[in-house]
Structure 1
Amino acid sequence: MCPIRKLPVFRAFEKQELAFMHRFKRGELAVDKGATVLVEGAHSAHLYTVLSGWGFRYKLLADGRRQILNYLMPGDLIGLQGSLMGEMRHSVEALAPMLLCVFERDKLAELYRDHPGLAFDITWIASREELILDENLLSIGRRSAMERVAYLIAFIAARADLVGLNGREKPEFSLTQQHIADTLGLSLVHTNKTIRRLVERKLVRWADRACSVVDFQGLLAIARWEGITKEQRPLL
């Protein structure tokens, strides 16, 4: 039994879809914190769904500078880009120990041919990723540093709440300030100063490389963001 299927945020499978998913699944993979799950330029025979833990997608410039693209949490699909384009165009790293459900990429054609509901689900997942990237681009292009950091922390907190990350009501996020800087295009010094301002306003708590939210609504107000719409979503 999939450990996250019971969460109310995920839609239920039809009987024939569930039977296919059992054939589609090849097993489970445990990943250590800090390990690389997929590497840019690599060819992978598998797709993955995050069952527990979390990680991030990123790209590197030739000189080693890193841009974090998005954060991965339970229910998120990893490796679709590489399946459709032949090779990965980004890398994936685990921020905490992760458990991944492994699927065989070769069965994607059968999924699209025989299970239009699941095919729509993959389209929905890709569209949702596009929406997230749109919001990230808005942050980098138009939000101030304070608004950027407030949005990122609120966004991660909202997503974590929906999927019960770590089983906590108010989860702590094992982010470093370097992760935030690499996500938002800020210098480490500017990131540190901005986080201190949020701490002083009693909006977040930051200690020992972990962040927790104190005032979620306050973060939303600073970020000028309405939050995540709570609706059922697909799960592969």
Structure 2
Amino acid sequence: MSSQSARSVPSRQYPCEKCPLRPLPVFRAFESQELSFVSGFKKGELAVEKGATVLVEGSHSAHLYTVLSGWAFRYKLLPDGRRQILNYSMPGDLIGLQGSLMGEMQHSVEALSPMLLCVFERDQLHELYRNHPGLAYDITWIASREERMLDENLLSIGRRSALERVAYLIAFISSRARSVGLNGNAAVRIPITQQHIADTLGLSLVHTNKTIRKLMDRKLILWRDGGCEIVDHEGLKTLAGWEGLGEERRPLI
């Protein structure tokens, strides 16, 4: 990342012991020794501007990150510049694990909004696996959860109609955002463009625009400057034939 797009925060705004995410019902509680290790594992925080590239495909990063606030997306590029968005990252999500375990990143990550990231040294993963089996299981759980989400996305692209695909994607992102409190007391507003949706679902921009208009006509969403606002979350799930995340409490590294 360029110095103009990201900057290190020299002092921690949020010590692990006072993490604003940890009290959320969606995250499991840490044992005291786990919290102590993670507090030492965390080296600081990184502020990222909207549109900045957090990680680049093919790079070798010395760090991995947990999203403390903001939105991002993971993507791959073809040689001619065509983009496939793989998934979206929100508070509590771990970024860069693939590069930590496989040597180099197999995808890139870009910020959809201003973000604050917790920074961890990749080299300390060995100590985590050696001395903290509960946290090691958490890493495995996070990787399995990512696989599960990608399976559902592949099902959507392969078998759902364009209308069902867009309804599913918006409901899926909205469900994840709601679970980590991104909406507060208001309706969820997702900071994506129609091009993001097209690049996630393999649709043309024209087809995407027509499909979004159908969802608006059904009063399921509103499309405003700055993103998509959810009007009827359950209606989107019903249209997509999707039962929802159905997650138990999840780990937070």
TM-score tier by shorter-chain length is: over 0.9
The residue number in structure 2 matching 1:200 is 217
Provide the secondary structure at the position in 1 that maps to 2:43: strand
The answer to whether structure 1 residue 13 and structure 2 residue 30 are counterparts is: yes
> Secondary structure, in 3 states, of the residue corresponding to 1:202?
coil
State how far apart, in whole Å, the 2-side matches of 1:227 and 1:192 are: 25
Partners of 2:247 and 2:125 lie apart in 1 by: 28
Task: Identify which of 81, 84, 103 aligns with 1:67.
Answer: 84
In structure 2, C-alpha distance between the alignment counterparts of 1:160 and 1:183, rounded to whole Å:
17
C-alpha distance in 2 between matches for 1:34 and 1:175: 11
What are the within-5 Å matches in structure 2 for residues 221-232 of structure 1?
Answer: 221-232=238-249
Higher relative contact order structure (alpha carbons within 8 Å, sequence separation ≥ 6) = 1
* Counterpart Cα distance in 2 of 1:3 and 1:48: 16
Are residues 1:92 and 2:103 paired?
A: no
Equivalent runs, 1:19-34 vs 2, <5 Å: 19-34=36-51
Retained in 2: the 8 A contact 1:161–1:169?
A: no
Please state how far the C-alpha of 1:218 moved relative to its aligned partner.
1.1
When structure 1 is superposed on structure 2, of 164-173 and 57-66 the one drifting more is 164-173
Aligned partner of 2:6 in structure 1 is: none
Give the deviation of 1:171 after TM superposition. 2.0
Residues 1:157 and 2:174 aligned together: yes
Alignment of 1:1-236 (within 5 A): 1-165=18-182, 167-236=184-253
Letter in 2 for 1:60: L
Letter in 1 for 2:105: M
- How far, CA to CA, are the matches of 2:245 and 2:144 in structure 1? 15
Q: CA deviation at 1:2?
A: 1.5
User: Which runs of no fewer than 5 residues in structure 2 stay unpaired?
Assistant: 1-17
Superposed CA offset, 1:100-145 (max 9, x none):
0000000001000000000000000000000000011001111100
> Percent sequence identity over matched residues?
76
Matched position secondary structure for 1:165: coil
Give the Cα separation in 2 of the matches to 1:221 and 1:26.
43
Deviation of 1:22 (Å): 1.2
Q: Distance in 2 between the 1:168 and 1:175 partners?
A: 20
Tell me the C-alpha RMSD between the 2 structures.
Answer: 0.9
Large movers: runs of 4+ above 4 Å = none
Residue 165 of structure 1 deviates from its aligned partner by 1.1
* Partner amino acid, structure 1, of 2:60: H
The 3 A distance-change label for structure 1 pair 70 and 168 is farther
Distance 2:196 2:97 in 1: 24
Please give the per-residue CA displacement for 1:67-111, whole angstroms capped at 9, x wherever unaligned: 000000000000000001110000000000000000000000100
Letter in 2 for 1:200: D
TM-score normalised by the chain length of structure 2: 0.92
Q: Which amino acid aligns with 1:158?
A: S
Distance 1:121 1:168 in 2: 30
CA distance in 2, matches of 1:230, 1:130: 14
SS in 1 for 2:79: coil
Whole-angstrom distance in 2 between the partners of 1:130 and 1:181:
21
In 2, Cα distance between the equivalents of 1:43 and 1:166? 34
Provide the C-alpha distance between the structure 2 equivalents of 1:208 and 1:54, rounded to a whole number of angstroms.
17
Distance 1:75 1:7 in 2: 10
Shift of 1:209: 3.7
Q: Once the 2 structures are TM-superposed, how far is the Cα of residue 168 of structure 1 from its aligned partner?
A: 4.5
